[in-house]
Amino acid sequence: MGNIYGYVRVSTKEQNTDRQLIALLGAGVDKENIFVDKISGKDFERPSYKRLINRLRKGDTLFVKSIDRLGRNYGDVIEEWRRITKMKHADIVVLDMPLLDTRRGKDLLGTFISDIVLQLLSFVAENERANIRRRQAEGIEAAKARGVKFGRPKKPLPMEFDEQYRKWRDGEVTIAEAAKVCGMPASSFYAKARERMKNEQGQ
């Protein structure tokens, strides 16, 4: 009989881990064997997770409340799942999804079912991400059509700009002198002055 471990992850330090901890403790995992990360699940470069993986041995069991606590990228989750079960010969139990319990069905059928469920989850997750990106793009296009402006609002020009622009245009002051009066970098003053000049020429 191997050791029993638990893994808990939330994305930020402000998020609460109680729900996951209660589920793992209820499943029989000792508190001292629960590893907690408060970090994004975009990859597996997480301090507590690395310590947990280093400790896992053949015959051990890893409990997680849900599959997304392992990670957000299901392609990576599948690879990690295989590393734990095939290379380390440890078991994984996902409490929210009883089909993902490698202690059951050690035969070919049990392994096949777990693989199918993981692949299905991967497909659903990738499909949902694509739908989110599509909805975001459609939302942005609709907002633009309504006249919503994106990006940083333009910083208003200094009150002195108009007068200094006219003086620079008429050769009364240099770029550096005009920019200094306006409290702007010379490059910024020049860019705005060129823009103003083009607008005047286009009228």
3-state secondary structure of 61: strand
Specify the residue for token string 């020009």.
157
On the 0-12 / 13-18 / 19+ scale of CB atoms within 10 A, 132 is exposed
Nearest CA to 5 among 31, 34, 28? Answer: 34
Quick one: angle between helices 175-182 and 161-169, nearest 10? 170
Q: Is 11 a catalytic residue?
A: yes
Which residue of the set 11, 48, 114, 188 is catalytic? 11
Spatial contact of 37 and 3, defined as CB atoms under 8 Å apart = no
* Contact residues for 21 (Cβ-Cβ < 8 A; gap 6+): 8, 31, 34, 36
Q: Which residues are catalytic?
A: 11
